[in-house]
Each structure stands twice: as C-alpha cells, then as structure tokens.
Amino acid sequence: MLGSQETFQHSTRIRSLNKRWFKVCPSADLKPGRARSIRLLGRRFAVFNIDGTLHGLDGDCKHMKSSLAGGKLENGIVECSMHGWRYNVTTGECLTNDHSQLKTWPVKIEDNHVFIEIELPGLV
Ligand code: FES
C-alpha cells in the first residue's frame, strides 16, 4: 500500500507525462489578427496571433461553449460571436464574468507549423 508521499510522487509523474505538443496549422495560415482552433478529446483549444505574437488559450467560451477562434479580435481582446462575452487573449481573463477565467497554453512555431502544448488526462 502506498503512503501519502508515494501517492503524491506518483501523481506528479503522471501529470508531467500528460503534456504534449499538438500541431494546430501551418504558421502561414495564422496571420496577425487571426485565430485557429483544434479539438482534442472533446475540448477545443485556440491560438491567436496578436501583432505577430502567438497566444494559446482554451478555445471554448465559458458561457455556452461557442468557439472563441471565430470571435471578433481587437486590441488583444476576443469577443465571443454568440453573446459577446469578452476575454483577454494574453491572460485568459474573462472581462464579462469574474468566474470564467480561461486557461492559457504554451505555443511555438516549429517546421513552419504552429503547435500548442496542452495537458490532458489519459494521454500517458
Ligand atoms: S457562447 Fe460565448 S457569449 Fe455565449
């Protein structure tokens, strides 16, 4: 039987193994002011290009799960196309509802493609 210390170490190791990079799109397809999304295991993730800097974010609006990649993007703020909830693309902060923070995710460009690093349970 595992003690509490052993259980903690086991969970930590599994969590770190769950981080993976996923290809989103060719980097040429993500111009400044645009966004792209991917769906993995029932969740959507989005990458936004703000003046040449890429930002990874949860891709579903916290209100009713509309795709934020299809929203209006202006001055680092994305506005959901369904009912207008607004989010800071850099921080994930929801400017409409204090309890609706989105998670941010690392992104990179490699081999002319955009990748997002996400952590999902059950990917070990
Ligand atoms: S689904 Fe985004 S504001 Fe309603």
Range of the domain at 73: 4-119
19: confidence class by pLDDT, cuts 50, 70, 90: confident
φ, ψ of residue 87 in degrees (nearest 5) = -135, 140
- With the most atoms of ligand 1 within 8 angstroms of its CB, the residue from 44, 78, 80 to mutate is 80
Is 53 inside a domain boundary? Answer: yes
Residue 19 inside a domain? The answer is: yes
How many separate domains does the chain show? 1
Residue 123 has pLDDT above 70, yes or no: no
Identify whether 109 is part of a domain.
Answer: yes
Task: Identify the DSSP state of 108.
Answer: E
Q: How far is CA 31 from the centre of its chain?
A: 18
Calculate the average pLDDT of the chain.
88
Asked if residue 107 is part of any domain, the answer here is yes
Q: Is residue 80 part of a domain?
A: yes
Q: For ligand 1, is residue 102 a contact (CB within 6 Å)?
A: no
| Segment 31-81, tens digit of pLDDT | 999 999 999 878 999 999 999 999 999 999 999 999 999 999 999 999 999
Q: Look up the CATH number of the domain holding residue 94.
A: 2.102.10.10
In a domain, 52, yes or no: yes
Q: How many whole angstroms separate alpha carbon 121 and alpha carbon 124?
A: 8
Would you say 63 and 83 are in contact if contact means Cβ atoms under 8 Å apart? yes
Query: Per the domain annotation, does 86 fall within a domain?
Result: yes
Is the pTM of the predicted complex or chain greater than 0.85?
no
Lowest mean pLDDT among 8-12, 40-44, 100-104, 114-118: 8-12
> Within a domain: residue 124?
no
Alpha carbons 21 and 115: distance in angstroms, whole number: 6
How far, in Å, is the centroid of ligand 1 from the Cα of 71? 10
